[in-house]
Amino acid sequence: MNKLRILIPKGRIFDNVSRLFSEAGFPMYLADRTYRPVFSADWLDAKIMKPQNVGELLELGSHDAGFTGVDWIRESGAEVEEVLDLGLDRVRIVAAVPAETSEASLRSRKIVAATEYVNLAEKWLKEKGYRYRVLRTYGATEVFPPDDADMIIDNTSSGQTLRDNGLTIIATILESSTRFVASKAALADPEKRGRIEELAMLFQAVLDGRDRVMLEMNIPKDRFTEIVADLPAMKSPTVAPLYGESGYAVKIAVKKHEVPGLIPRLKKLGAGDIVEYDLRKAVP
């Protein structure tokens, strides 16, 4: 079959995507100063590109699928199909100004807004009725105010960098995360669509597995109905009789946040030999 051509973003997204491929069963090797990762699967062909370029390159048809933030998809206006929201690398695209700047002062003049997100900024500033000039930046946008810009429109995860530079967020324009996206041409090809959907299923299984643990326990016969009736599980508990018919061995896959309250409750109800371990994948 033809190789599935994948675009993987450099920068902050790369490490999470690389780990995701590895946990899905496709470890990636990237030699120093190269842009062509090598996979264990011979049907995968990948190239490292900036996340800003991923959407447009997919639309042009030179690649089949890739990873980028939804912020860059919206900024480029690229016609691509979102396959899966990975929920990774969450950021907000925000408007921020020097802490001492008032809304009245912004409205009283034509402002300079510094940003890498020229199209998103233009759209938002126009909708809000500002008089403005957009100044395109190429990184380190937060250093422009107050000397060279009145406002910035930039991405942030915690907002700490903005605060460190004396800036206050006045609006959230967009919330973004890393998406697995594909070209329309690739999804129209049954073979490539099948491969893309298989990858999406494995990625989702990894993400679900990260969020869950497996609990195993032994339950006495006389407490079985009471305990099992209240157990959380992906579908239903797995139950097997213990040797000697003294009770049952029970397995459940549960959300990690449920465990601290669940284990003490199970112990009080009579469950014993409780073991917790991580999952690598969880496929409903």
Residues 6+ apart with CB under 8 A from 257: none
Q: What is the pLDDT of residues 218-254, one digit of tens each?
A: 999 999 998 988 788 778 889 999 988 889 999 999 9
Distances (CA, A) of 255 to 7, 206, 249, 258, 277: 32, 14, 20, 5, 12
* pLDDT at residue 1, as a whole number: 59
- Tokens of residue 50, six digits: 């900036």
Distance between CA atoms of residues 25 and 19, nearest Å = 10
* pLDDT at residue 246, as a whole number: 85
- Domains of the chain by start residue, with CATH: 4-88+177-209 (3.40.190.10), 91-176 (3.40.190.10), 212-278 (3.30.70.120)
> Could you list the pLDDT tens digit for every one of the 284 residues in the chain?
589 999 999 888 999 999 999 999 999 888 877 889 999 898 999 999 999 999 999 999 999 999 999 999 999 999 999 999 999 999 999 999 999 999 999 999 999 999 999 999 999 999 999 999 999 999 899 999 999 999 999 999 999 999 999 999 999 999 999 999 999 999 999 999 999 999 999 999 999 999 999 999 999 999 999 898 878 877 888 999 998 888 999 999 999 999 999 999 999 999 999 999 998 888 87
Nearest alpha-carbon partner for 3 in 37, 43, 36: 43
Distance between CA atoms of residues 280 and 74, nearest Å = 33
* pLDDT at residue 253, as a whole number: 92
pTM of the model: 0.86
Contact 114, 151 (CB under 8 A): yes
Longest dimension (CA), the chain: 84
